[in-house]
Amino acid sequence: MPLGQIDNTYIAADAGGDLWIIDQHAAYERLLYERLTHSYNSHAVQVQALLIPEEVSLNTAESIMLKDYIDVLMDIGIEIEEFGRDIYIIRSVPSLLGTGSAKQMLLDIIDGLTGFQKGMMKSEVVDKVIMLIACHSSVRANHGLTYKEMAALIDDLINLKIYETCPHGRPIIIKFSKTDLEKMFKRI
C-alpha cells in the first residue's frame, strides 16, 4: 500500500509491516521491459499507429546505424520508412508505450545502438533495444503520481515477481523490515 511519494521520484510503501522505498523509474522500466519482451517472444506485439507520423532527420552515421537495425525495430513494433536522404518517418510504435515522442525515442535508441558490437546475435540486439525502449518510455524521476498510479505500480511489481533490479541492474526497491527500523531508532 503506498504511503506517498518522495520528491516525485520515490514511492514509500507499507508492505506487510515492512517499509519499501521504490524507485519509480526503475520500477516502470522493469515492468515495461518484461511486457515488451513477452509480447515480442510470443509474436504478439501490438502496435499503435501514430495519428500524425513523426519525421526524423538523421546525420549520415545515424542513418547507417538505423539501416543496420531497422528490421529489429520493425519486429519490436516501431514502423519506420525512409522518406528521403537521411530522413525517416515513424508510423507506429508498440501500443505498450503509451504517449510520448516517438522521434526522441528513436534518437535515444540510435544513440544507444552506437555501443553495440558488430556480430551480436539478433536475440542480444533485440534485448538491448527493448532495454533502451523501456528506459526511454518509462515514467521519469520528478514526475508526480496519483495514489491510484502508485498502487497499480506496486501491485504490478508484486504480480511480476521480478522486482529486484531494473534491466540495467539498478535496484528497484530498498526494503526496511520492522526490525531494521527498530534498530535504526535504537528501540532494540
pLDDT band at residue 161 using 50, 70 and 90 as cut-offs: confident
SS3 content of the chain, % helix, strand, coil (to 5): 45, 25, 30
pLDDT tens readout for residues 107-137: 988 988 887 767 778 888 899 899 989 988 8
Predicted pLDDT at 116: 74
pLDDT tens readout for residues 65-87: 899 889 999 999 999 999 989 99
Q: Please, what are the domains in the chain?
A: 2-35+140-184 (3.30.1540.20), 44-137 (3.30.1370.100)
The chain-wide mean pLDDT, for the chain, equals: 91
- Among residues 156, 158, 174, 153, the alpha carbon closest in space to that of 25 is found at 153
Contact 153, 15 (CB under 8 A): no
The residue with cell 558490437 is 117
Is the sign of the CA dihedral 71, 39, 169, 145 positive or negative?
positive
For residue 76, give the C-alpha cell.
519490436
C-alpha 70/C-alpha 63 separation (Å) is 10
C-alpha 24/C-alpha 8 separation (Å) is 9
SS3 162: coil
Query: How many Cβ atoms from other residues are within 10 Å of residue 2's Cβ?
Result: 20
| Amino acid of residue 16 | G
Predicted pLDDT at 62: 92
H or E stretch covering 179? helix 178-184
What share of the chain has pLDDT > 70, as a percent? 98
C-alpha 116/C-alpha 146 separation (Å) is 38
DSSP code, position 171 = B
C-alpha 71/C-alpha 177 separation (Å) is 47
Q: What is the pTM of this model?
A: 0.88
C-alpha 76/C-alpha 65 separation (Å) is 17
Contact 105, 98 (CB under 8 A): no
Predicted pLDDT at 138: 86
Q: Which residues contact 145 (CB under 8 A, 6 or more apart)?
A: 5, 8, 11, 24, 139, 153
